[in-house]
A and B are shown apart, each in its own frame.
Chain A
Amino acid sequence: MSTAISTYSKSDYINFIVLMVLGFLVIPMTVNSDYWFTSILIPWLCLALATIGQQVIMGYTGQLALGAAGFMAAGAFACFNLILRVDGLPFFGALIISGLIAAAIGIVFGLPSLRIRGIYLMVATLASQFFIIWVIDKFGWFKNYDSSGIITAQDIVIFGRPYTTPVDMYLVILVVVTVMTILAINMARGSTGRNWMAVRDMDVAAESMGVSLLKTKLQAFAISSFFCGVAGALFAFTYLKSLEPVAFDIKLSFKILFMCILGGLGTINGAFIGAGFILLFPVLLNYLGNNVFHGAIDATIISAMEQVVFGVLMIVFMIYEPLGMARLWENTKQRLFKKKNK
Chain B
Amino acid sequence: MSTIEERKFKIGDPILEVNNISLSFGGVNAITDTSFNVLEHEVRAIIGPNGAGKSSMLNCINGIYKPQKGSIAFKGDTLSKITPNIIAQMGISRTFQNLALFKRMSAIDNILVGRKLHSKANFLDVALQLPKARREEKVNLKKCEEIVEFLEIEKIKDTPVGKLPYGLQKRVELGRALATEASLLLLDEPMAGMNVEEKREMCRFILEVNEEYGTTMVLIEHDMGVVMDISDRVVVLDYGKIIGDGPPEEVRTNQNVIDAYLGVSHGE
Question: Are A and B interaction partners?
Answer: yes
User: CB-CB < 8 A to B160: which residues of A?
Assistant: 1
| B127–A210 CB distance below 8 A | no
User: CB-CB < 8 A to B121: which residues of A?
Assistant: 190-191
User: CB-CB < 8 A to A186: which residues of B?
Assistant: 126-129
How many A-B contacts if CB must be within 8 Å?
Answer: 122
Given A186-B129, A204-B84, A6:B105 Cβ within 8 A: no
A202–B100 CA distance with the chains assembled, in angstroms:
6
A202–B84 CA distance with the chains assembled, in angstroms:
13
| A205–B100 CB distance below 8 A | yes
Chain A facing B: main interface SS: helix
- CB B146 to nearest CB in A, in angstroms, measures 16
Given A1-B158, A6-B137, A205-B102, A210:B89 Cβ within 8 A: yes
| A3–B102 CB distance below 8 A | no
A117 within 8 A of B: no
- CB A58 to nearest CB in B, in angstroms, measures 14
User: CB-CB < 8 A to A3: which residues of B?
Assistant: 106, 108-109, 158
| B123–A187 CB distance below 8 A | yes
A194 within 8 A of B: yes
| B100–A204 CB distance below 8 A | yes
| B128–A206 CB distance below 8 A | no
A219–B137 CA distance with the chains assembled, in angstroms:
20
**Smallest CB gap from B88: residue in A:** A210
Given A201-B104, A208-B64, A210-B180, A194:B137 Cβ within 8 A: no
**Smallest CB gap from A220: residue in B:** B123
B101 within 8 A of A: yes
User: CB-CB < 8 A to B137: which residues of A?
Assistant: 4-6, 190-191
| B113–A209 CB distance below 8 A | yes
Given A3-B106, A198-B102, A209:B180 Cβ within 8 A: yes
Given A6-B134, A223-B123, A208:B128 Cβ within 8 A: no
B114 within 8 A of A: yes
B116 within 8 A of A: yes
**Tally of contact residues, B, Cβ under 8 A:** 44
A303 within 8 A of B: no
| B106–A1 CB distance below 8 A | yes
User: CB-CB < 8 A to A201: which residues of B?
Assistant: 101-105
Interface residues of A in 5-58 (CB under 8 A from B): 5-7
Given A204-B64, A205-B101, A205-B102, A210:B117 Cβ within 8 A: yes
A172 within 8 A of B: no
**Smallest CB gap from B135: residue in A:** A6
| A4–B112 CB distance below 8 A | yes
A152 within 8 A of B: no
A208–B104 CA distance with the chains assembled, in angstroms:
18
Residue-by-residue, is A179-194 near B (CB-CB < 8 Å gives 1, otherwise 0)? Answer: 0000110110011101
A187–B119 CA distance with the chains assembled, in angstroms:
14
| A190–B133 CB distance below 8 A | yes
A158–B126 CA distance with the chains assembled, in angstroms:
28
User: CB-CB < 8 A to B205: which residues of A?
Assistant: none
- CB B132 to nearest CB in A, in angstroms, measures 11
| A208–B105 CB distance below 8 A | no
A213 within 8 A of B: yes
User: CB-CB < 8 A to B94: which residues of A?
Assistant: 208
Most chain A C-beta atoms within 10 Å of own C-beta, residue among B104, B123, B140: B123
User: CB-CB < 8 A to A207: which residues of B?
Assistant: 83-85, 88
A266 within 8 A of B: yes
**Smallest CB gap from B113: residue in A:** A198
A187–B125 CA distance with the chains assembled, in angstroms:
9
**Smallest CB gap from A189: residue in B:** B126
Interface residues of B in 55-89 (CB under 8 A from A): 62, 64, 83-85, 87-89
- CB B40 to nearest CB in A, in angstroms, measures 21
- CB A51 to nearest CB in B, in angstroms, measures 18
Which of B85, B119, B176 contacts A191 (CB under 8 A)?
A: B119
Residue-by-residue, is A201-234 near B (CB-CB < 8 Å gives 1, otherwise 0)? Answer: 1101111111111000001000100000000000
B141 within 8 A of A: yes
A93–B227 CA distance with the chains assembled, in angstroms:
64
A98 within 8 A of B: no
| B127–A192 CB distance below 8 A | yes
A207–B88 CA distance with the chains assembled, in angstroms:
8
| A197–B104 CB distance below 8 A | yes
User: CB-CB < 8 A to A266: which residues of B?
Assistant: 104
User: CB-CB < 8 A to B84: which residues of A?
Assistant: 204, 207-208
A63 within 8 A of B: no
User: CB-CB < 8 A to B119: which residues of A?
Assistant: 191
| B102–A6 CB distance below 8 A | no
B239 within 8 A of A: no
B138 within 8 A of A: yes
- CB A338 to nearest CB in B, in angstroms, measures 18
A195 within 8 A of B: yes
**Smallest CB gap from B140: residue in A:** A191
**Smallest CB gap from A206: residue in B:** B113
Q: Could you list 15 A-B pairs, sorted by A, with CB under 8 Å?
A: A4-B141, A6-B129, A6-B133, A6-B137, A187-B126, A191-B126, A200-B104, A204-B64, A205-B100, A206-B113, A207-B83, A207-B88, A208-B93, A209-B113, A209-B180
In the A-B complex, the 9 residue pairs with the closest CB atoms: A210-B88, A201-B102, A205-B100, A6-B137, A190-B126, A210-B117, A183-B127, A207-B84, A192-B123
